[in-house]
């Protein structure tokens, strides 16, 4: 560790632990900040968050994990930076804003002899067993994630990239469990459809962009 | 998926693909040993739904693979914050 040497081994160890904590959380915090503020502001928001956390760390009461607490501070800082309080959205609003399901037309309709079953089934899994995740596929998924609607992106990012629980995500984003579930389902569904179209040319949307995003 | 066998041995109604698809997000959260017998049976009989579930498992694996990069400890942003932490400590009368 090159930052700030100290004659006190206890203090030096403490600083090393703090540096490691910052180093491990920083990239994920930047990703989360970018779901709330423009990318140009995200770096400042994360720095401000850490400064605030370091000032008030002794007020952390352990009622959530330290990471969830830090992310809650980050959320507040990002909202302040945005200059307005993000209002809680209802399930109905999200539903009204959402376009068609990527699975539309892939199952036999009512009345068909095989109603309730696939008409255009998924072709194959994305990563054959025992294969590593390729950089190309990873980048494609990351690009797609960036294009999801903001609330879906936040939920998928926190749940599937950062590994927060459903309850923690509800707290961080002021969502009720039902809305969190819908946003996660829709975000994942679009990402899955996008990658299926990219990898196998199947299930691609019939629109100008050729993308579900 | 075989069609026609509407009930299993215990008398529970069999589920079809439309019933199965909304359950997929929940299945991702629990170990397959905890899955409902109807779900297990459907997956045994329906390769497309099995692949659909595996695609979502793969998607999550790809997304989790993003989270492997920490900043180097020599990053100037960390140094700035450590200096800030030291000054905060010095300002604290306790």
DSSP codes of every residue in B45-86: H-HHHHHHHHHHHHHHHHHHTTTT-PPPTT-HHHHHHHHHHH
Q: In terms of CA atoms, which chain A residue is nearest residue B42?
A: A117
- Band (pLDDT 50/70/90 cuts) for residue A97 is very low
Put simply, the answer to whether A19 touches B56 (Cβ < 8 Å) is no
Put simply, the answer to whether A23 touches B78 (Cβ < 8 Å) is yes
Task: Answer yes or no: is pLDDT of A177 > 90.
Answer: yes
Give the residue from A7, A23, A153, A191 with the most B CB atoms within 10 Å of its CB, the best one to mutate.
A23
Mean pLDDT along residues A87-102: 51
B5 in A contact zone (CB under 8 Å) = no
| Chain B residues touching A185 at Cβ < 8 A | 22, 25
Sign of the Cα torsion B32, A156, A27, A72 reads negative
Give the residue from B81, B83, B90 with the most A CB atoms within 10 Å of its CB, the best one to mutate.
B81
Give the contacts of B59 (CB within 8 A, at least 6 positions apart).
A126, A141, A160, A188, A191, A192, A195
Please tell me the predicted confidence (pLDDT) of residue A6: 54
Average pLDDT over all residues of chain A: 84
Strand partners, A105: none
- Band (pLDDT 50/70/90 cuts) for residue B57 is very high
pLDDT tens by residue, A120-147: 999 899 998 778 888 888 899 999 999 9
Q: In terms of CA atoms, which chain B residue is nearest residue A22?
A: B78
- Band (pLDDT 50/70/90 cuts) for residue A194 is very high
Please tell me the predicted confidence (pLDDT) of residue A89: 42
Put simply, the answer to whether B63 touches A156 (Cβ < 8 Å) is yes
Give the residue from A1, A3, A164 with the most B CB atoms within 10 Å of its CB, the best one to mutate.
A3
Task: Answer yes or no: is pLDDT of A54 > 80.
Answer: yes
Predicted model pTM: 0.81
C-alpha–C-alpha distance, residues A93 and B76, integer Å: 42
On whether ipTM exceeds 0.90, the answer is no
The answer to whether residues A87 and A187 touch, using CB atoms and an 8 Å cutoff, is no
What is the 8-class DSSP label of residue B34?
G
Kindly report the nearest CA distance between residue A151 and chain B, in angstroms.
17
How many other β-carbons are positioned within 10 Å of the β-carbon of residue B29? 10
Mean pLDDT along residues A1-21: 70
B19 in A contact zone (CB under 8 Å) = yes
């Amino acid at each position: 560790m090159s930052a700030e040497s100290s004659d006190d081994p206890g203090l030096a160890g403490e600083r090393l632990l703090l540096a490691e904590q910052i180093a491990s959380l920083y990239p994920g915090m930047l990703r989360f900040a970018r779901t709330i503020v423009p990318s140009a502001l995200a770096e400042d928001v994360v720095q401000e968050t850490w400064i605030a956390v370091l000032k008030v760390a002794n007020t952390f009461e352990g009622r959530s994990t330290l990471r969830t607490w830090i992310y809650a501070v980050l959320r507040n800082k990002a909202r302040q930076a945005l200059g307005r309080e993000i209002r809680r959205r209802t399930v109905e609003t999200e539903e009204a804003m959402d376009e068609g399901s990527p699975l539309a037309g892939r199952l036999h309709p009512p009345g068909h002899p095989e109603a309730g079953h696939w008409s255009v089934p998924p072709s194959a899994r994305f990563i054959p067993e025992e294969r590593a995740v390729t950089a190309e596929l990873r980048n494609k998924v990351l690009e797609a994630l960036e294009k999801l609607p903001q609330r879906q992106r936040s939920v998928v990012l926190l749940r599937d990239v950062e590994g927060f629980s459903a309850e923690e995500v509800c707290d961080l984003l002021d969502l009720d469990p039902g809305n969190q579930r819908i946003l996660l389902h829709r975000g994942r569904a679009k990402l899955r459809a996008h990658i299926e179209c990219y990898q196998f040319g199947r299930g691609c949307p019939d629109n100008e962009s050729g993308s579900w995003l | 998926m075989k069609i026609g066998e509407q009930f299993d041995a215990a008398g529970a109604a069999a589920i079809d693909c439309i019933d199965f698809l909304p359950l997929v997000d929940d299945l991702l959260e629990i170990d397959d040993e905890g899955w409902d017998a109807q779900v297990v049976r459907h997956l045994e009989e329906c390769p497309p739904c099995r692949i659909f579930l595996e695609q979502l498992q793969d998607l999550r694996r790809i997304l989790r693979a993003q989270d492997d990069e920490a900043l180097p400890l020599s990053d100037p942003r960390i140094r700035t914050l450590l200096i800030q932490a030291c000054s905060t400590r010095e300002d604290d009368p306790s």
